[in-house]
Amino acid sequence: MSTSAPRTAQPASGAPCAGTVIDRLVEANRAYAAGFVDPGMGARPVLRVAVVACMDARIDLHAALGLELGDCHTVRNAGGVVTDDTIRSLTISQRALGTRSVILIHHTGCGLQTLTEDFRHELEMEVGQRPAWAVEAFRDVDQDVRQSMQRVRTSPFLPHTDDVRGFVFDVTTGLLREIDPQS
């Protein structure tokens, strides 16, 4: 975990922002849009690959994988696990937008390794309604990558499952470690 102070968004003028974090993000977007040039590209990823990864803020996927704007589709969620909604996104990515490869990226020190399905029960007790989704918590990150690869490879909705590979990203070194689907 980083010990440095959190970074705060500031407007183009460099002056501190008043308001909420979202207000600061909208102001940053205005500065971005002022210099924006339409890249003139379509929605089909150039490399025909979809990346499924954890939403962890420590992972800069484009930088870590050497990707440019337009290279891939990116699907991020808690843990990078393959859920029904992930399959939905991958199905649209493959069938409507031409992707053929899927790379799955989990990481070291994932927050889902500290949760259990008790989280769902506690949430139900708090709000009075049981979530329709599973937490998808796990203890063994390698095994969870294998499970995610299996879910992609066996989905009847995905026509392209020959090039599916899974990795664990080390948040302290930035390196990917490939997971053998058979181990």
- Is 107 marked within a binding site? yes
Q: Which residues contact 115 (CB under 8 A, 6 or more apart)?
A: 135, 137
Running DSSP on this structure, what letter comes out for residue 111?
Answer: G
- Is 73 marked within a binding site? no
Give dist(CA 106, CA 147) in Å, integer.
12
Give dist(CA 149, CA 82) in Å, integer.
8
Residue 85 in contact with residue 93, Cβ under 8 Å? no
- Is 170 marked within a binding site? no
- Is 17 marked within a binding site? no
Give dist(CA 48, CA 101) in Å, integer.
7
Binding-site members for Zn(2+) are 54, 56, 107, 110
Residue numbers belonging to the annotated binding site: 54, 56, 107, 110
